[in-house]
Chain A
Amino acid sequence: MTEATPGPDTGRRGFVNWLLATSAGAFLVSVLYPVTRYLVPPQVAESSAASVTVPVKAGDVKPNTGQIFKFGNKPAILVRTPAGELKAFSAVCTHLNCTVQFRPDLGHIWCACHNGHFDLNGQNIAGPPPRPLDAFVVNVRGAQVVVSKGA
């Protein structure tokens, strides 16, 4: 009687075994894949930050001063104009990548390496820099200053 209908029984067992085998395989992959990914370093570095909170309070940046801060791996500069407006730019000089600084005596941004000058819109106004500083967007949330890359 049982020998007359072997099909459905072995079929069901085969299906259950297949399910078990694939789930074991999936389990192994889910364990081993992250381990391998952890051990093998990626080809390129992680993308840099798109937004940072500047580690100074908005009120601490006085008019006609600037503050260098870390934006990913690169320096950026937060400037408060004499009119009280907060502005942020990449602090990497567009000539030879030196770090620029704010010169209260000049009232604008200056690079010490080759005497490059940038105005308070980041425009290169004197010296060798070939193009303006990259501008960032500044948002003030209470005392916090959040600087982000533009859209």
Chain B
Amino acid sequence: MRGANLVVALALLALAAASPAWAQPAPPTEGCPACHLETGDERLANPVKAFAADIHRAKGFGCIACHGGDAREAGMEAMDPSKGYIGKPNRQQTVQVCGRCHADARFMKQYNPSLRVDQVAEYATSVHGRRLRELDDPKVAVCSSCHPAHAIKPKSDPASSIHPLRVAETCGRCHADAKYMAEYKIPTDQLEKYRKSVHWKTMSAKGDLSAPTCNSCHGNHGAAPPGVSWVGNVCGQCHTVMGELFAKSVHAKAFAQIGAPGCATCHNNHDIEPASVEMVGLGGPAVCSTCHAADDKGGRAAVEIRRLVDTLRVEQEGARAILERAEHAGMEVSQARFELNGANDALVKTRASVHAFSLEATKKEAEPGLAISAKAYARGVRALDELQFRRKGLGVSLMVILALIAGLVVKIRQLDRRSQAGNAGSNSGGER
């Protein structure tokens, strides 16, 4: 009895080991790949080959999920329109086909509970979606323009067309193509400009994938140019302190009245360079002179604000340099150097305060920094004075010691000479 049980168990084990279905999810039972690969027509074979690495394939979806038809039929009968076969979806159908699952929260929860399900709704608000719906524009982007059909990968995959590092390239495929975009009469230099921006450098060179790319400001599925009046809100998503200061400033209202695009008025939109204090004031690369002159109130304030920031920067740097010199010379100034960190805080806040466009606001941040710098500088001067005093003291005491040594040498020689003279005297006396 026991022997018979063992045989059954062993037989079951062997059966389980031989069956690949026991270890892996069932492969799609559709017959589509068989024909599509066999015809030798690359146009038919490529989608099947590419689909092997598609996220949908990995989750167990096959051809009919999008193309319709009947998977139970082995031949051409599977592609019967009466069985739901639609072939290659047209542009309008593409959005519907993707949305059938992706807009169904209950369905999507089974596969990726945190994935958004509002893509179709958002797409309807985008310039792409509106043109498709209202004009049946054959050139606007649909789902598969950015998520290449049959090779869709999650955005976390570096090879994905929507990985942060590749979004700009994906949008640029159309938007940087002057010929393709000609009829829309919009600029096509966005990608080129973006590649020069601090945002792209932060992302590509510093590896900070949270740095903004096209969709961070334009939205992804709802892609549209930010409205002039809400540019500040968009930039303020990350640049919160500057965004808040700007929103309360005189410029927020003034820019809205003249139709200037908020932050982008001074910082540009796609080719945003690292901000520097040189942008403030009236001369050189300063941007205030675009609207203000030296004799108007704003121009005078700009010059004063710039002077304050520069003064704080110079004073802080001067204090740091003198303390460093004192420290290198062996003086104990660590407390002063510690306190000088406060001047850096003030400088950072002062630079941010520029976005309030108010001399008072900048003064409020700069003044504590100036006081800290002055105190630290005075401590540095005292330390260097003390160093000079110690050096002089050392010199004087060295002179005294050297003089003493010289005196001793002279004294020893005198004693030697005297004893030699004494010896010579006694010797000559002895000879007599």
Residues of chain A having any CB pair with chain B under 8 Å: 35, 38-39, 41-46, 70, 72-75, 92, 96-99, 112-115, 127-128, 130
Q: Which 9 A-B pairs have the closest CB atoms?
A: A73-B337, A41-B329, A41-B328, A113-B348, A98-B345, A96-B348, A70-B338, A115-B240, A45-B327
- CB contacts (< 8 Å) of B335 on chain A: these are 70
Residue of A nearest to B328 (CB): A41
User: Considering the complex, which residues of chain B in the window 332-348 have a beta carbon less than 8 Å from any beta carbon of chain A?
Assistant: 334-335, 337-338, 341-342, 344-345, 348
User: Considering the complex, which residues of chain B in the window 301-333 have a beta carbon less than 8 Å from any beta carbon of chain A?
Assistant: 324-325, 327-330
- CB contacts (< 8 Å) of A39 on chain B: these are 391, 394
- The answer to whether A128 touches B345, judged by C-beta atoms less than 8 angstroms apart, is no
Write the nearest CB–CB distance from B337 to chain A, whole angstroms: 4
Residue of B nearest to A46 (CB): B327
A45 to B326 alpha-carbon distance, docked (Å): 10
B404 CB-CB contact with A under 8 Å: no
- Interface pairs (18), CB distance under 8 Å: A35-B398, A38-B394, A39-B391, A39-B394, A42-B328, A45-B327, A72-B334, A73-B334, A92-B341, A96-B344, A97-B344, A98-B348, A113-B348, A114-B240, A115-B240, A115-B241, A130-B206, A130-B208
Chain A binding site: helix, strand, loop or mixed by DSSP?
loop
A114 to B240 alpha-carbon distance, docked (Å): 7
A44 to B330 alpha-carbon distance, docked (Å): 10
A35 to B238 alpha-carbon distance, docked (Å): 56
Number of B interface residues at 8 Å Cβ cutoff, please give it. 25
B352 CB-CB contact with A under 8 Å: yes
B349 CB-CB contact with A under 8 Å: yes
- The answer to whether B338 touches A98, judged by C-beta atoms less than 8 angstroms apart, is no
Write the nearest CB–CB distance from A3 to chain B, whole angstroms: 22
- The answer to whether A73 touches B349, judged by C-beta atoms less than 8 angstroms apart, is no
Chain B binding site: helix, strand, loop or mixed by DSSP?
helix
Residue of B nearest to A126 (CB): B240
A97 to B352 alpha-carbon distance, docked (Å): 14
Residues of chain B having any CB pair with chain A under 8 Å: 206, 208, 238, 240-241, 324-325, 327-330, 334-335, 337-338, 341-342, 344-345, 348-349, 352, 391, 394, 398
Residue of A nearest to B344 (CB): A97
- The answer to whether A112 touches B345, judged by C-beta atoms less than 8 angstroms apart, is yes
Residue of B nearest to A48 (CB): B334
A35 to B394 alpha-carbon distance, docked (Å): 9
A38 to B390 alpha-carbon distance, docked (Å): 10
A127 to B325 alpha-carbon distance, docked (Å): 36
- CB contacts (< 8 Å) of B338 on chain A: these are 70, 73-75
